[in-house]
């Protein structure tokens, strides 16, 4: 399902006709119901919104934005989280203490409040959303990696590598981190779903991706005012979002079950 969504997003121009922001004769083409044709004879699978824009086209182009934001934001938080977690787990001296303190501090900041503040304080843009989501999502990954690294560091194969004279950084990167990949993948899968939802929430409040660029969040927001006469405008992007987030959750569960046979037995 996730693959299908990604493929659609990448192949957007092939499965749709026209520009997602194109407006023609608004009066003739607005609020066309799904599976019917507008006044100019163009067929709309999911109908049109109040400016006569094709909802399916916007949905597919919006997927580019929503999935892109989700993936990039998670990439940032994974990179930050793994770095902080690994250093905190395998570093010496004051470094782990300082990093763990920083992580706990960042975890205690209410995320939604922080998102609201950051997003409302600077001019909203797609890039800002990615950065803000990335910067507020790394803490759980750091905790996770920290725990894994600490546990792995005492295992015989790591001690073997240390005994054979490998440098600490090399031991960390070549021997420990590859064995901590599974929980990170699980966290990433869940994180993408979470980031997509948060992006939609911010855009819904008007603090995220700005119109006319379509994102699922601002599509839902624009459908809110026309819920009575054109319910499909808000329904379609929300349903797409739920499907993708469910897919992310299931993917995370599946990876965990596949990599940890013990979890399945219990």
Partner 1 sequence: MLTRFAARALAGFGVVAGVVTLTFFALRFAPGDPVEHLLGSAATAEQLAVQRHVLGLDRPVPVQYTAWVSRFVRGDWGISIAKGRPVRTVLGDAWPATVRLVGLSLLLSYLLGIAVGAIQAHRQGSRTDTALSVITVTLFAVPGFWLGLMLVMLFTYWARVLPAFGAAGLDADYLTGLGRIVDGLRHMALPLATLTLIGIGGSARFIRGAMLDLSSQPFVTTAHAKGLSPWRVTWRHTLRNALTPVVTLLGLSLPTLFSGAILVEAVFAWPGVGRVLVEAVQARDYPVVMAATAVSAGLVVVGNLLADVLAAWLDPRLGMRNA
Q: Which residues bind partner 1 (CB under 8 A)?
A: 104-105, 108-110, 112-113, 116-118, 120-123, 193, 197, 200-201, 204-205, 220, 223-224, 227-228, 231, 234-235, 238, 241-242, 245-246, 248-250, 265-266
First to last CA, the chain: 28
Least separation in angstroms between residue 112's CB and partner 1 is: 6
Closest CA to 223 of 85, 55, 71, 66: 55
Q: How far is CA 141 from the centre of its chain?
A: 14
Considering the complex, state which of residue 182 and residue 201 has its C-beta at the smaller distance from partner 1.
201
Calculate the alpha carbon distances from 96 to 50, 83, 174 in Å.
54, 12, 20
φ, ψ at 164 (rounded to 5°):
-80, 10
Least separation in angstroms between residue 70's CB and partner 1 is: 13
Least separation in angstroms between residue 192's CB and partner 1 is: 12
Considering the complex, state which of residue 27 and residue 228 has its C-beta at the smaller distance from partner 1.
228
Considering the complex, state which of residue 177 and residue 186 has its C-beta at the smaller distance from partner 1.
186
Q: Tokens at residue 173, please?
A: 């990167």
Considering the complex, state which of residue 43 and residue 122 has its C-beta at the smaller distance from partner 1.
122
Least separation in angstroms between residue 33's CB and partner 1 is: 15
What is the C-alpha separation between 119 and 109, in angstroms, rounded? 15
């Amino acid at each position: 399902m996730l693959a299908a969504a990604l493929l659609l997003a990448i192949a957007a121009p092939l499965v749709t006709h026209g520009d997602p922001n194109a407006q023609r004769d608004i009066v003739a083409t607005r609020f066309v119901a799904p599976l019917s044709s507008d006044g100019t004879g163009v067929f709309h699978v999911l109908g049109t919104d109040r400016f006569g824009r094709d909802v399916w086209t916007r949905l597919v182009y919006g997927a580019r934005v929503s999935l892109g934001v989700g993936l990039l934001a998670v990439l940032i938080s994974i990179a930050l989280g793994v770095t902080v977690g690994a250093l905190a787990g395998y570093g010496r001296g004051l470094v782990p203490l300082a990093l763990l303190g920083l992580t706990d501090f960042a975890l205690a900041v209410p995320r939604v409040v922080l998102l609201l503040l950051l997003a409302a304080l600077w001019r909203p843009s797609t890039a800002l959303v990615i950065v803000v989501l990335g910067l507020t999502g790394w803490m759980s990954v750091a905790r996770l990696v920290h725990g894994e690294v600490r546990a792995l560091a005492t295992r015989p194969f790591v001690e073997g590598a240390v005994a054979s004279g490998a440098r600490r950084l090399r031991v960390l990167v070549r021997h420990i981190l590859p064995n901590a990949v599974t929980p990170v993948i699980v966290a990433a899968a869940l994180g993408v779903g979470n980031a997509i939802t948060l992006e939609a929430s911010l855009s819904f409040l008007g603090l995220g991706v700005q119109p006319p660029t379509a994102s699922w969040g601002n599509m839902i927001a624009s459908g809110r005012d026309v819920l009575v006469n054109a319910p499909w405008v808000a329904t379609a992007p929300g349903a797409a979002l739920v499907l993708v987030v469910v897919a992310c959750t299931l993917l995370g569960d599946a990876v965990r079950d596949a990599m940890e046979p013990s979890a399945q037995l219990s």
